[in-house]
Amino acid sequence: MNGMKNNHKRDNSISSNIIIFNSSLPDIGYIARTNTAGKELDMVNQFVEFLIKKYSHLKTKKVAIFIEPQIDTGYPDIVVVEYYSHQKGSWNTLRASLSCTDFKILYYIQTEKFLSLSDISETLGYPIDIVKKSVSKLNVCGLIHLSKKKEHVRNIRLKTYAKIHKIIAIEAKIDKWQEAIRQANNNIWFSTESYILMNKSACSPAIIQTCRSIGVGVLLVNGKVETILASTQRRFPVSYASLQFNEWILRYLHKEDIT
């Protein structure tokens, strides 16, 4: 994958339906950790190659593969996002300026459906002027509905602005499986599925039982990739960070419109 990574440093598109985010892209607000050479990275690269082959023949879905993206809880090793194409004309360039605060407010509105601006301010702890500024921006972007008196907001249909089907997080470890499980458990916060990935041909009952108890899946890579335990599945969006992945994909696809 090192050769592939170098070839796609500027243009991350592998095919018409696969994008790999393998380095930071400041122009779209995406930050990734720099990879450290070693056996763990080799395993990650091997698994990414497997993913490229797996998804290369998709017809209706598209895939974005994020390598060590920066989110609030750290840097998950791999995040695979399955999504569907957006309709042309659905992108508003103002969306490129949405901040973490905006995503938190958007997620809260999407979850609660109908709220007053004072409800948002009291629950999330933002000053009312920050809330007013954020909901105004979200309304212009077509992501929420703001009342005429600008005192209440309601959500819009999620699929009109977020076409994500799954967000699959993978934590890779050569050993230290307890650390892998801890990190995979953290990834439940934003992903619809969370896995640990280990370079083994077999998995101990203790690892499987521990993972099953928290809803984390187990993948093994050793010449081939095997799913030993399926992850518990959660509905998108799991948190505001789930929405950030949607925006990173859209910003990348519309990066020529971002100034």
**Domain annotation for the chain: domains and CATH numbers:** 2-86+163-229 (3.40.1350), 93-161 (1.10.10.10)
DSSP code for 131: H
Radius of gyration of the chain (CA): 19
pLDDT tens profile 41-88: 888 888 999 999 999 888 888 999 999 999 998 999 999 999 998 766
Cα dist from 217 to 164, 194, 241, 259, whole Å: 20, 6, 20, 41
Q: Which residues of 123-142 are buried (b: 16+ CB within 10 A; e: fewer)?
A: eeebeeebbbebbebbbebe
pTM, entire model: 0.90
Q: Which residues of 77-113 are buried (b: 16+ CB within 10 A; e: fewer)?
A: bbbbbbbeebeeeebbeebbebeeebbbbbbbbbeee
Q: How confident is the model at residue 5, as a pLDDT? A: 42
DSSP code for 98: -
Distance of CA 5 to the CA centre of its chain: 20
Q: From CA 107, how far away is CA 104, in angstroms rounded?
A: 5
Contact 173, 197 (CB under 8 A): yes
Query: Tokens 């995979």 sit at which residue?
Result: 184
Instruction: Copy the structure tokens of residue 22.
Output: 């393998």
Q: From CA 241, how far away is CA 75, in angstroms rounded?
A: 12
- The 10 Å Cβ neighbour count of residue 176 is 12
Contact 236, 245 (CB under 8 A): no
Q: How confident is the model at residue 4, as a pLDDT? A: 40
**Closest by CA position to 252, among listed 66, 50, 49:** 66
Q: How confident is the model at residue 8, as a pLDDT? A: 41
Instruction: Copy the structure tokens of residue 225.
Output: 């990739």
Q: How confident is the model at residue 198, as a pLDDT? A: 92
Quick check: helix, strand or coil at residue 137? helix
Per residue of the chain (259 residues), what is the pLDDT tens digit?
A: 333 443 344 346 666 789 999 999 999 999 999 877 788 888 888 899 999 999 988 888 899 999 999 999 899 999 999 999 876 667 888 999 999 999 999 999 999 999 999 999 999 999 999 999 999 999 999 999 999 999 999 999 999 999 999 999 999 988 888 999 999 999 999 999 999 999 888 889 999 999 999 999 999 998 889 999 999 999 999 999 999 999 999 999 888 776 5
